[in-house]
Structures are given as C-alpha cells and as structure tokens.
Amino acid sequence: MKKKFIAIITLVLLISSMAGVVSAAEASADMLNAIEAEKKEEFSNYKAGSLKLTDVQEVSVNEPELNTNTVQMALAEYTTVRDSIFPTVRKEVVFFDPENGEVLHEGQLATVDEVVTYKESYDNVTGAKLQMGLIITLLIVLPIVYVLLIVLVWEPRQYSVSKFKIANRLYHGQTETFQ
C-alpha cells in the first residue's frame, strides 16, 4: 500500500514539474505578431505562419537608452522559401520590448549581461539551413525522365538505313537475284 501511495505521489510531482516548464515557454501574442511583422519586412520570401518561438525568458533591464524595464528573449525558428523549391530554415535569438510592443535588436542590448549569456547559450543552434529534400529528388528524377524520353519516344522514331539494309540483306554489296 505504501509503495502505491509513493508511486502516485511521485507521478503527480513529476507531472506538475513538467507542466510548469511547458507553460513558462510560451510567447505572448503581441511578441509573436511583432516578430512576424519584422521578419516579413526583412525577408521578401518569408513563409507566413512558420514562426515558432521557444524558450521565452524575461529579463529586467536598467538601460536609460531603451525606455523599458523588461526585455523578453526567445529562440525564433522560421522558414523562407525562394523560388518555391529552396526552403531555408532559419534560427536566431530575438528580443522584444513588452512595454512598448516593439522588437529590439541585438546592438541595443549589447551591454546587458543576461542577454549576452542567453545569446551565447544558443551559438551552436542559430543559423540557416537549406532543406535539400526537394532538390535531391529533382536531381534524381530529371535525368531518369530525360533517359526515358530518349529511349521510349525519340529512339523509336529514328529511321536507320543500316537496319533497312540488314533486314533486306542489302548490306556490303550483297544482292539477291530472283529467277
């Protein structure tokens, strides 16, 4: 009986600790809309609705130049698609001023130690990665289609004098006399 009771208590504590982590990692709608608007302006090939913000943290800032006391930081992941076949997944750290509702740039927060530490923790994650699945598929399929076109369409329509001569035994001066 004690073992079951301890197992139930442990399970409840485990689930409640995970629920706190999940709820803390959600971004506000204002932050999401402001960052998405900035990315649409920055990239002409931004894929709408692809922005995901993870690991949102809020930091108190005492910078008189910023006109704010708090800054929210998050890891943003979004997609840009060039010519409909070159999707690029981009990851970067973004900063948001919740009091004024505007996106801040890294240069404005360069003197804040918490921001620098947060950005350095994601140095190995940030960057752009070209998705090669569609490109590799095209590189495999197009040569196969080209070869099939030659073999099945173009080649049967070619007229060969040699084939005619061999079929009628007229090759190399051979002639047939009929009596």
Count, residues in the chain: 179
Q: What pLDDT sits at residue 22?
A: 40
What is the average per-residue pLDDT within 114-126? 92
**Cβ partners under 8 Å of residue 64, min gap 6:** none
Percent of the chain scoring above 90 in pLDDT: 46
> Phi and psi dihedrals of 11, rounded to 5?
-65, -40
- Structural domain boundaries in the chain: 24-131, 136-173
DSSP labels for 148-161?
HHIIIIIGGG---H
Please write the tens of the pLDDT for every residue from 128-142: 999 998 889 989 999
CB contact at 8 A, 65 and 56: no
Q: What pLDDT sits at residue 19?
A: 46
Nearest to 89 by CA among 120, 51, 54, 53: 51
**Of 90 and 174, more confident:** 90
**Of 173 and 86, more confident:** 86
Give the three-class secondary structure for 4. helix
Q: What pLDDT sits at residue 20?
A: 39
Please write the tens of the pLDDT for every residue from 9-64: 766 666 766 543 443 447 788 899 999 999 999 999 999 999 999 999 999 888 77
